[in-house]
Structure 1
Amino acid sequence: LGACGKPQTGAVEPHWDRDTCERCRMVLSDRFHSAQIRYRDDSGRSRVRLFDDIGCAIVWLQDRPWRDAPTTEIWVNDHRSGQWIDARKAFYVSGHNTSMEYGLGAQSDAATGGMDFAAARRHVLEKERRNHARHGPKPR
């Protein structure tokens, strides 16, 4: 625990229906498709950013200098239980109705037709590229 008594690693429990997505500013209400990123800021402090969809988290993280740092954690809800799981170890299945329509549900075990984090990231970035080409840039 840090000086303020807050955990320095792991997922935090959002204030559902009050906290907003760091990228799109929608309220976090979906307890089965949300995400969060924990990282170290320039001063070394642990920071957490919340997202209403794994797609928002992936797009927001894309240009961060600490994106691939070992201290950067990405957490997603398991679409079946709502439990927070490590996004990099999760498996993703498409066809889900998610807040920002990236359509991915995460789960802790492999699924037929599922994808790993790298494939899910490519899926999100390709969908973002198509949306960007069709509608212009989304807010960051």
Structure 2
Amino acid sequence: MCRCTHTRRSVLGLLAAAPLLAGCKEQTEGPEDIRWGRETCTICGMIISDARYAAEVRGGADKRLFKFDDIGDAVHWLSVQDWKAESGVEFWVMDSNNGTDWLDARTSFYIPDTISPMAYGYAAVPNRETGTVTFEVMRASVLMRGLATGCLPPEEWNDK
């Protein structure tokens, strides 16, 4: 009798937890929250702590998400991925005005000459403002400048 009650409680406990476990399914689109001060940048390994400059890229065969502490790191990292030009690749950047809203990196505008975590010098904003540049202008500038001094060379990046 005791065994039956124990089994029934275990089954009921599992049924009660099922909705919570269903929520653990891996996300395959959109940006995700970053655990500030605990997660590290995919390319340089630094802790991501300043929300105003964070970026994320989602892509590849498994739609995996990669997190960065600076838009410049994300630009460099994506530039060497075989799947960079695929239509489903998502590229997100944090709105530097508030550090809470994710923006589509390709349609955002960038304030140059900003002090950013890896010194690429760009902060994203959602709308054109005096002095801002487009994604393509920012991207070209970042690639021409080269990797930040704190970054490992591409052959040493763990999550290619």
Report the TM-score range of the alignment, normalised by the length of the smaller protein.
Answer: 0.7 to 0.9
Q: 1:3 to 1:72 in 2, by over 3 A?
A: farther
Partner of 1:84: 102
2:45 is aligned with 1:25: yes
Distance 2:133 2:94 in 1: 16
Partner of 1:97: 115
- RMSD, matched Cα: 2.0
Identity of aligned residues (%): 34
Deviation, 1:23, is 0.4
Partner of 1:74: 91
Equivalent residue runs for 1:47-126 within 5 Å: 47-82=64-99, 83-126=101-144
Q: How many residues align?
A: 131
Q: Identify, as 1 or 2, the structure richer in helix.
A: 2
Q: What is the TM-score of this pair, normalised by structure 2?
A: 0.75
Distance 2:23 2:39 in 1: 24
Question: 3-state DSSP class of the match of 1:32?
Answer: helix
Distance 1:4 1:104 in 2: 34
Q: After TM superposition, where is structure 1 displaced by more than 2 Å over at least 4 residues in a row?
A: 2-7, 137-140
Unaligned segments of structure 1, at least 5 residues: none
Deviation, 1:6, is 3.1
The Cα offsets for residues 87-109 of structure 1, whole Å up to 9 and x where unpaired, read as 00100011211110001000110
Distance 2:60 2:146 in 1: 26
Whether the 8 Å CA contact 1:24–1:139 is kept in 2: the answer is: no
Question: 3-state DSSP class of the match of 1:12?
Answer: coil
Distance 1:32 1:74 in 2: 15
Larger Rg: 2
